[in-house]
Amino acid sequence: MTSTHEGTFEGLRGQLQEAAATFADGPDALEGILLGIVDDVDHAVREPLEIFPVCHHSPASAVAMARRLREKQPKVVYLELCEDMAPLLTELRNCKLPVAVQSFATEVDGFPAEWSPLSVVAPITEASAEYQAIAYALDTPGVELVLVDRSSDHVFQWDARATESAGPADPDAPPAEEEAALHGDAVGVEIGDLRPRFAELEEHLLHHGKVRHWSEWWHQYVELPLGDSDHDTYRQVMLLIGSLFRRLAPGDAHRVRVDEDRERHMWTRMREHLAATGTDPADCLYVCGAFHAASRVAEFGVHGTDTFEISPPSATTWQHGLIPSSHAAIEAQFGLAAGSVSIAATVWAKNVRRTRVEPFRLAGQAGAKKSRAKKAAAPTGPAPELPPSDRLTGFLQRPPALDRLDEAELLGWSVEIVRAARRNGYLASTADAIAVFETSILLAGMRDRAKPTPYDFQDAAVTCIEKDTVPGRRDVRRLVEIMMGGDRVGQVGYEALPPLARDVHDRLAPLGLKLQQSGVQRALLDIASRPELERCSDALWMLRHLMPQGAARPIMGERKLGERPIQESWDLALGTYQRALIELGYEGVSIEQVLEQRLRRTAYDRRATAATVLEAVEDATLYLRSRRLADELGTHALEVLSAERSVDGAPEVLRRVRRLLAYYRTSEPVLPPWIESFAKTGYAHYCTLLPTAFTDDDATVRQVAAMLGFLFSMESLALSLGCDRTQLELAVAQSHPEEPPKTALLWAAQVQLGHLSRADLRAKCDELLGNPLVVPAYPRYLSGFVHALEPVPGLTDFVVEAVSNAFARLPDPVLLPWLPTLITTLRSGGSELAPLLIREAGRTFPGRLAALDAWVPPWHSRPDSEAMLSAHSAGGSHGCTLLAAHPATCDAVAALLGCEDPWETAEPGRPAGAALPGRHPETAVALEVLLTGA
C-alpha cells in the first residue's frame, strides 16, 4: 500500500518548495509548514482504514458523504461522536430535524458542585455529513455504526468549562436576547470544527477574502468549489485545510493535549473494535473532523501503538435524550454568523438537485419518502476501489467557474425580497428588485468573486431597500434570512420523548390541544362541568412551578390552600419549551417525583432558611397534596428555625405559618404535631431574640414587627402547649430601643400586654408633639405605629388618630417630606396593613364633604370615663331598670346557677343597683375603654 502511493504528491511538493524559496528568500519555516501539510495529506490518504474528513453542517461534506457511502458501501462506520450517545441515534427517525443529542447530569460526583447541571449536546441537521452516515448505517442491513469519540463524562474530565467553545463570537451575530437559546449553557460537541485557531490567520483570510465573518469565507472559498467535486478532490482538500489549521494553531498546551487525547481515544476504540470483530479495515469508514484527520499522534492508524489508557468514568449518573434544536441555536453556540446554517440548508437542497446525489434519510423521518428509504436500504454493489491520484494541484490551480443558472436564482431572490419587503411595510418596487440584482453583481465583482453569494445579496438588499428607516419589526437583513430558509426549529417526536414528557402529554390530552406545536395555545378548563379536567389543572400548576415562566402561564384562576378550582384559563407553549420538558424527564419519571425531589433539595440545602422550608411545605401541600412530605419538611423547618440567629426571615415565616395554620384548622380535625411544635419553639425562639432585635441596627422595623406578630398571634396556641407568658413579658421588659420606629413598636407591644394604657400612649404622643426638639422625628414614630398594626391590629383606630393629629399639628417642612416615606412604607412593607387603615378612616371620618366642617374628631369629643361614672352616680341612678322590668331572664340565669334567693325590694338609704362598681370603679373604666376604644 505504501509503494502504491509513494509518488502521489511529489509534483505538488516540488511546486511548494519552489514557492517557499521564492517568497521566503530561501528554505526556512515556511517550507517546513508547506511540505508538512502535504505530508499530512499523504499520511492520511495512505491509511488502510479510509478516513473521511468533514466539516460540521457543511452541504459539501454531506453531498460527498452520501456519494461515498453509495460507492463504497462500508460494513462499519466509525463516527466521531460521544460513545455514550449511541443508543439515542435510532430515535432520530421519530424527530423533525434539527435536533440535538444530549447528555445531562443534575447531580455531579467527581466534578465541582458549581458545574451542576452538566450538559453536552451534539446538534444534527439534515445538511450534515454525520446524519448521512447515521441514516445509512441504521437503515442498511449488516452495517454497524460505532461511536468512537470520548464520552460525555470525559468531556468534563479533560476540559475546563470554557475550552469547548467554538471560537470567538462573531461581531455580526445577533444580540444574545435575540438568539434561540434551545441548547441553554450546554457544552457543544460537533463533528469537524474547522476554524482557524490563529487569530492573525483568520483576520488575514477575512481581509483578503473581502468578507466580514468566517462563515462567509468558508462558503465562498471552500463550500462552493467543493460542492460538485469528486471524492478524491474533496478528501484531499479537506485534509489540506485541516492540516493547515492544525499547523498554524497557537501553542495552547491544554487545548492541544485535549485534541490529541481525543484522537488517541478514537483510534484506540477503532483498533479494539477491529480486533474484537475481525473486520477488514478496507470495509470500514472513519468519519471525523478534518482537523483530527490530519493527526500525527503515535496511536494514529490501524497499526498505531496501544499505549493510551482511557481513564474510567466518574461516579456521575448521566441521562441521555433528544432535545429540539434550531439553526439560530447552533449559530449562537458555535460562534457562526447569523443565517449561515439556514444558507447551508438552502445550498444543500441546491446541491442535491444539481448533482443528482440521492441522500440517505431515516425510514419514518418526518418528510422522508418511502421509495428513497427502500433504495437506501438496498444499495447496489460497491464500486471498485482505485488508487487515489494527486487532485490538489489541479484544484488549487483551477479558476472558479461561473454557473449560468445562478443568474436566474439571483433574479428570483431579488423579486422575492421586494415582495417580502412590501409585506413588511417597505415602499419597495420593481425598480428596487432590479437595483438589488445589479448591486449584488457589483458587490461580487468588487470582492473578486465569480458570482454573487447569499451574503452579497443580503448586503445589496439592505443597501437598496432599507435605506435609513425600518417601518416594521423586521429589518431587511432578517427578511433575507427568512427568505433563505429562516430559523428552522426541530421537534422531538412523541415516541422519542422521555417517560415524564409522554406522561405530561397523556394527562393533558383531554384539553384537545396540539401541544407538540410551537407557539402559544389557549386552554379553557371548566372544571365545574367537567371534573376530569381537575387532573389537567393539577398537572398545569406543577408544570408552572417546574418549567420556565412562558411554558404554562395562568390567565384566569389561582391555586390557594384549602380552595378547589372551578374555572381556569391557561396559555400553553410546551412545544416551544420542549427542551425544558425533556430535561425534566432526566430528573424523574413523573412531574410529582421531580417536584418532590426539588422541594427536598430546596429544604435540605445548607443555605435554606425557615422561610424557604415553610415555602416548600406550602408547595407540597398545594401542588402534591402530600401530608407525608409536608410533615417531613415541617419537622425540618422546626430544626432550621432553632438554628437561626437572625430575624431576617421573620416576616416570611409569619406570613406562611399563619397561612398554614389557618389551612390546617379548617381542613384537619387536629393540628399536625409539627406545627404545634413549631409554634411552641418559635414562641421561645423569638422571645429570646426580641431584646437584641430591638437594639440591633441590622434588624428592620418590619422584621421586629413580624416577630411580635408571631408571638401575639401564636400566643394562645403556645400557651395551650405549655409555654409561659412571663417569657414574653420579660422579653418586652428587657427591650430598650433607641430608634423612634422601634420605640413606637415597643409601646404598641406594651399596650397589647396591658402594661401601658391607651391614655398613657395618647399622652406620650401628645408629649412628642409638644416638644419642638422631637417634632422632626415624630413621623418616624408614626411609621413604627403603622408597622405595629401587624402584631396589634386593635390599635388601628389609634393609628388613624395619631396620623390625623400629625396632619393637624405638624408644620409643613416636617409633614411634606414625610409623606413619601409614609406612602413607601405602606406600599412596600404594609400592603396588607393599608386596608385596615382605610377601613378605619372610612368609619371615623364623615362620608360627605359638607359634613366635614361641623365634624368633631371622636377623640376630641369623648369625655373622660371616670367623670362619666361619677356624674352617673351623683345623678341618683335607680339601678338596672330594664332588669327589674323583665326579671324572667335573671330568674333563668339564677336557676341555671342554682341560686334560689328571692327578689329583694330596694330600701331608702341603701345604694341602688350594683354596689361593687361603685366601690371599685377602675374595673368599669377599663372595661369601657376596652369596649369603646376611648
Bond preceding residue 117 cis, omega within 30 of 0: yes
pLDDT at 171: 42
CA distance linking residue 791 with residue 786, whole number of Å: 10
CA angle 398, 404, 405 (to 5 degrees): 120
Q: Is 588 helix (H, G, I), strand (E, B) or coil?
A: coil
pLDDT at 8: 60
- φ/ψ of 899, rounded to 5, equals -95, 125
- φ/ψ of 140, rounded to 5, equals -105, 120
Residue pair 5/42 in contact by the 8 Å Cβ criterion:
yes
pLDDT at 689: 92
Does residue 380 register a pLDDT over 60? no
Q: What pLDDT digit, counting tens, does each position of 460-512 carry?
A: 888 888 877 777 777 888 888 777 766 678 888 888 888 999 999 999 999 99
Question: Please, which pLDDT band fits residue 213 given cuts at 50, 70 and 90?
Answer: confident
Of the two residues 407 and 91, the one the predictor is more confident about is 91
Average the pLDDT over each of 255-259, 822-826, 911-915 and give the range with the smallest value.
911-915
DSSP state of 907: P
CA distance linking residue 914 with residue 906, whole number of Å: 12
In a 10 Å sphere around its CB, with 0-12 CB exposed, 13-18 middle and 19+ buried, how is residue 228 labelled?
Answer: middle
CA angle 827, 828, 832 (to 5 degrees): 65
* Residue that the C-alpha cell 498546551 belongs to: 253
CA distance linking residue 508 with residue 691, whole number of Å: 54
Among the ranges 4-8, 495-499, 672-676, 832-836, which has the highest mean pLDDT value?
672-676
Q: What pLDDT digit, counting tens, does each position of 569-602 carry?
A: 999 999 888 888 988 888 888 999 999 999 999 9
The closest alpha carbon to 405, from 227, 203, 551, belongs to 227
Does residue 633 register a pLDDT over 70? yes
Does residue 550 register a pLDDT over 90? no
Task: Provide the total of helices (H) and of strands (E) in the chain, helices listed first.
Answer: 41, 13
E-only strand ranges, 844-912: none
Question: Please, which pLDDT band fits residue 202 given cuts at 50, 70 and 90?
Answer: confident
CA distance linking residue 280 with residue 382, whole number of Å: 15
Of the two residues 143 and 246, the one the predictor is more confident about is 143
pLDDT at 915: 64
Does residue 25 register a pLDDT over 60? no
Cell of 495: 415516541
- Contacting residues for 724 by C-beta, under 8 A, at least 6 apart: none
CA angle 905, 910, 912 (to 5 degrees): 70
Quick one: CA dihedral 15, 19, 22, 25, positive or negative?
negative
Residue range 297-325: average pLDDT? 86
What's the distance, CA 651 to chain centroid?
28
Residue pair 481/174 in contact by the 8 Å Cβ criterion:
no
Q: What pLDDT digit, counting tens, does each position of 666-675 carry?
A: 888 899 999 9
One-character DSSP codes across 214-242: HHHHHIIIIITTTTT--HHHHHHHHHHHH
Amino acid at 13: R
| Alpha-carbon separation of residue 40 from 240, 297, 516 (angstroms) | 8, 12, 48
Number of Cβ within a 10 Å radius of residue 890: 14
Quick one: CA dihedral 402, 405, 409, 410, positive or negative?
positive
Does residue 683 register a pLDDT over 80? yes
Residue range 251-264: average pLDDT? 79
Q: What pLDDT digit, counting tens, does each position of 63-89 carry?
A: 999 999 999 899 999 999 889 888 888
Bond preceding residue 98 cis, omega within 30 of 0: yes
pLDDT at 252: 66
Residue range 770-781: average pLDDT? 85
Question: Please, which pLDDT band fits residue 394 given cuts at 50, 70 and 90?
Answer: low
Of the two residues 828 and 175, the one the predictor is more confident about is 828
Residue pair 457/436 in contact by the 8 Å Cβ criterion:
yes
pLDDT at 441: 85
Question: Please, which pLDDT band fits residue 907 given cuts at 50, 70 and 90?
Answer: low
CA distance linking residue 361 with residue 887, whole number of Å: 102
Residue range 415-429: average pLDDT? 87
Half-sphere exposure of 580 toward its Cβ, with a 13 Å CA cutoff? 16
Residue pair 387/442 in contact by the 8 Å Cβ criterion:
no
In a 10 Å sphere around its CB, with 0-12 CB exposed, 13-18 middle and 19+ buried, how is residue 703 labelled?
Answer: buried
The closest alpha carbon to 229, from 382, 394, 39, belongs to 394
The closest alpha carbon to 120, from 111, 133, 129, 132, belongs to 111
Q: What pLDDT digit, counting tens, does each position of 857-898 carry?
A: 887 765 544 444 444 444 444 556 677 777 888 888 888 777
CA distance linking residue 179 with residue 181, whole number of Å: 6
Residue range 900-918: average pLDDT? 66
pLDDT at 860: 74
* Residue that the C-alpha cell 430601643 belongs to: 737
Average the pLDDT over each of 29-38, 170-179, 422-431, 757-766 and give the range with the smallest value.
170-179
Would strands 76-82 and 99-105 be described as parallel, antiparallel, or unpaired?
unpaired
pLDDT at 748: 92
Residue range 596-623: average pLDDT? 93
- Contacting residues for 435 by C-beta, under 8 A, at least 6 apart: 460, 464
Q: What does the mean pLDDT of the chain come to?
A: 81
CA distance linking residue 464 with residue 864, whole number of Å: 89
Residue range 606-614: average pLDDT? 92
In a 10 Å sphere around its CB, with 0-12 CB exposed, 13-18 middle and 19+ buried, how is residue 289 labelled?
Answer: buried
| Alpha-carbon separation of residue 614 from 210, 593, 702, 801, 830 (angstroms) | 63, 19, 19, 37, 21
